[in-house]
Structure 1
Amino acid sequence: MAGMTDELGIRRGHALRAAVEQGLAGEAEPVVGLLDIAGIAASATALHAAFATPGVTVTHTFAVKAASLVPVLGLLAECGLGAEVASPGELALARAAGIPAERTVLDSPAKTLAELREALELGIAVNADNPEELARIDRLRESAPAGSPFASPVGLRVNPQVGGGSIGAMSTATATSKFGVALRDPGALEWVLDAYARRPWLNRLHTHTGSQGVPLELMVAGVRAAYELAERINAAAGRQQVTALDIGGGLPVNFGSDATVPSFADYADLLRAEIPGLFDGRYGIVTEFGRSLLAKNGTVLARVEYAKSAGGRPIAVTHAGAQVATRTVFVPDSWPIRVLALDAEGAEKTGEPVVQDVAGPCCFAGDLVAKGRALPLLEAGDHVALLDTGAYYFSNHFAYNSLPRPAVYGYCVLPDGAVAFSPVRAAQTQEELLAESGAGFPSLRLRS
């Protein structure tokens, strides 16, 4: 583990310096995203190894919302992963990346009739969120052309109501969560059992307990509830009606160091210990990890534009703020990130730590990615690196002050330490920003 952690930091250090040397980051492009290609591949390998079990079919999908970037999805597809999508846009991205229908899962609490029809016609797995959605699928199946039954696996998402973690917004198995059929509500369990009894084609069961802030034990409790429900459904049917359990994703990430804890192996081993029947070959397993695959493999690199002080506290004003680190800025206690102080060449600074704020460019006082952080004193022309930002930070831009989306590059570090960069997304141009903001339409006019 220590060796892998060291390699991650060494590759990142090479990439940060090279990004500045090669002009990817600097005065012209003051903020950029960097993705460690080898690190992403290693994360995918670790996931496959953790769940690999003789006689068990395991399909790993990536939650596209965590990195809605086609080249990243393409890399993950090469690493054997599929895609978990929650909108028509995410499905389009997955298809553009070449991810096949048989490795794609559609989850969303608000699927339209058109979305459902498209997924079923393509052969994409669908997890229905609620009774009304399941009734829509019934009608689509009934209206399908004769002799052309849909081949998509279809499941039902259930909320085991096992409780929440330390971040309420990331906890999806609370008593009042908006997701899935709440199993402990009066009459819900009976309805689920009847729904499967009346639909012999309903062959999956899905649950997802949450994400960051949710402990492994709570995640396992949610999967156990789904497994026990599948056992009841199959016993009532007298056959293996539920053939696959989609256990979701949500493995939390350690934002305090380069260490990958908990690991995919930690989670899989706990599942094996607590729910051995899940791995005995009767059920296929589907996963939907996102943040845990990408977070540690990404870094935001930003230039320090000004250094100032207020009330005796130094402030480094950088070009990375709420537009890229939205959750960190607005909910810093739940989403803290590590910051490296770098010099003008992109090398890590040394020197006595000084308590200072690291601010972003957005025009509101709370736009801080680090408050009261002890770092070597930052100066104008230096850089900062925001670590563990490979998931969500690049692909979910917050367009405050009409700040453009930054460029994103993947990188490979060669044996001699040289760094090769591959474009993932170009920086948004001012023309693109204007078009997105309606510049092509005439001004509004009052009408009498």
Structure 2
Amino acid sequence: MDHFLYKGGVLHAEDVPVAEIAAQVGTPFYLYSTATLERHFKLLDEALCGMEHLVCYAMKAASNQAILKTLAALGAGMDVVSGGEYLRAKAAGVPGDKIVFSGVGKTEGEMRLALEGGVRQFNVESEPEMEVLSAVAVSMGLRAPITVRVNPDVDAKTHAKIATGKSENKFGIPIARARDVYAQAAALPGLEVIGIDVHIGSQLTDLEPFRQAYRKVAELTEILRADGHDIRRLDLGGGLGIPYTQSNEAPPLPTDYGAMISEELGHLGCEVEIEPGRLIAGNAGIMVSQVIYVKSGEGRDFLILDGAMNDLIRPAMYDAHHDIVPVVQPAPGTEQQPYDIVGPVCESGDTFAKQRMMPPLKAGDLVAFRGAGAYGAVMSSEYNTRALIPEVLVHQHQFAVIRARPTFDEMINRDTIPEWL
């Protein structure tokens, strides 16, 4: 469920007409609903009720500080994968003991940054990383709390570019080698082993891959405890999918996910962390764009929008589907027609949908891309010297621009001309 609904024939974000925001902000832009962000977080938090737990929002999904502060106010922790994300979380007021530092390529500088500012744990992914982290911690007179990310070799049955839990993926250490790696970690003076980390992929629509992975984690927990390790925290990653279309089968409910976690891992007495990103932010955001031209081609019509692949790259990168709806609701019984929906960037890949059935549209009409709150704004670029589009947050009847569109002068003046030119 989200809070982008038609009222009086016009799409609203909570209590604000989307067209009113477009008139003031200009198109294209991202638009987020506070009520949806809050609802999704609370559903996940309540799903783990009865277990000691922390929901750590995966910032890579959408990292605007206004979104972070909204979630932090509800008690969310943060999952970060870079020094920049760590600093964003801190700037949003998130305490270090609620920040989990993930990522396969942490640098010494990032490790030092997090140790100085406080960190809940590092999810380490290799023996070389453990050695470097230990050396950095020792040089600071500290011990770094760690989990080791294990790769359970479980097929998440998701898109190949967002699968992370199979043996050929770059993430984590093979679960078959876990005992040896944990023994190495325990022997390093700058590390404190506190748990296990696992994450098998993103946009999962079935609980069975999670169940397979978590059973392996449960078995490993018992083995490592028998080896003398104090395994008291299980970081289960994120990955639960969202419905990107109104017609496809709905992914599992957070309550079912929570029940499965309790069933598979509750007997271990461990604190549980989950790291949802898409599930919180995905349907909490839309991208609003305007039709520039309707162009008739050879056997097909094109809707050419002012939004482009640099603004929302998921369709070009992942062949991702987004429902695209008119901001003005068509009259009942309006006959639809197929359009190729494209942007103005000089790439054939700048195509959002092919032969998508839509009501008749004309230049100046507004459309909204649903499910665009995750991996939309954070993956955008200034390709073709196109400005990063604004981000807007709605709260009931209010809205605020939370990232402004830069001017072309601001963009161009970032360049530095060498003195010989």
Question: Is contact 1:326-1:398 (8 Å) kept?
Answer: no
Matches within 5 A, 1:343-382: 347-350=328-331, 351-382=334-365
Does residue 113 of structure 2 align to residue 135 of structure 1? no
Tell me which moved more, 116-125 or 372-381. Answer: 116-125
**Aligned match for 2:234, one of 233, 239, 245:** 245
SS of match in other structure, 2:149: strand
Give the match for residue 282 of structure 1: 269
In the alignment, structure 1 residue 421 sits paired with structure 2 residue 376: no
Q: Could you tell me which of 164, 188, 192 is aligned with 1:201?
A: 192
Q: Which amino acid aligns with 1:296?
A: N
Letter in 2 for 1:353: Q
Task: Select the residue among 293, 296, 320 that pairs with 1:306.
Answer: 293
CA distance in 2, matches of 1:180, 1:386: 34
Work out whether 1:15 is the aligned partner of 2:13. yes
Query: Could you tell which deviates more after superposition, 115-124 or 56-65?
Result: 115-124
Q: Distance in 2 between matches of 1:201 and 1:331?
A: 38
CA distance in 2, matches of 1:176, 1:214: 22
Superposed CA RMSD in Å reads 2.3
How many angstroms does 1:46 deviate by? 0.4
Bigger mean CA offset, 254-263 vs 131-140: 254-263
Give the deviation of 1:109 after TM superposition: 0.8
Contact 1:26–1:303 under 8 Å retained in 2:
no
One-letter code aligned to 1:320: G
Deviation string, structure 1 residues 124-176 (Cα, Å, up to 9, x no partner) = 0111110011111222343333xxx34x5311111111224231111111111
Aligned position for 2:104:
109
Give 1:197 shift: 4.9
Check conservation: 1:167, 1:213, Cα contact below 8 A: no
**Unaligned residue ranges in structure 1 (runs of 5+):** 414-418
Q: State the match for 1:416 in structure 2.
A: none
Identity %: 27
- One-letter code aligned to 2:314: R
Instruction: Give the Cα separation in 1 of the matches to 2:25 and 2:182.
Output: 60
Q: TM-score if structure 2 supplies the norm length?
A: 0.91
Assess if the C-alpha contact under 8 Å between 2:77 and 2:99 holds in 1.
Answer: yes
Q: 1:41 aligns with which of 38, 47, 60?
A: 38
Matches within 5 A, 1:45-444: 45-53=42-50, 56-124=51-119, 125-145=121-141, 149-150=142-143, 152-184=144-176, 188-195=177-184, 197-198=186-187, 201-213=192-204, 215-237=206-228, 241-257=230-246, 261-273=251-263, 275=264, 278-280=265-267, 282-332=269-319, 335-342=320-327, 347-350=328-331, 351-413=334-396, 419-436=397-414, 438=415, 440-442=416-418
Q: How many residues align?
A: 412
Q: Deviations over 1:379-436 (max 9, x none)?
A: 00111110010111122213221111111111133xxxxx311221111221221134
Could you tell me whether the CA contact under 8 Å between 1:183 and 1:189 is conserved in 2? yes
Alpha-carbon distance, 1:357 to partner: 1.4
Distance 2:13 2:33 in 1: 9
Equivalent-residue separation in structure 2 for 1:294 and 1:331 (angstroms): 18
Q: Take 1:33 and 1:180, find their aligned partners in 2: how far apart are those partners?
A: 34
Cα 1:443/1:331, change in 2 over 3 Å: farther
Deviation per CA, 1:97-125: give whole Å up to 9, x if none. 10111110001111111211222233301
Q: Is the 8 A contact 2:314 2:375 kept in 1?
A: no
Taking a change above 3 Å as real, the CA distance of residues 25 and 8 of structure 1, as seen in their structure-2 partners, is closer
Q: Which runs of 5+ in 2 are unaligned?
A: none
Decide whether the 8 Å contact of 1:163 with 1:175 is kept in 2: no
Give 1:26 shift: 4.7
Q: TM-score normalised to the size of structure 1?
A: 0.86
3-state SS of paired residue (1:9): strand
1:281 deviates by 6.5
CA drift at 1:444: 6.0
Counterparts of 2:367 and 2:6 in 1: how far apart (Å)?
17
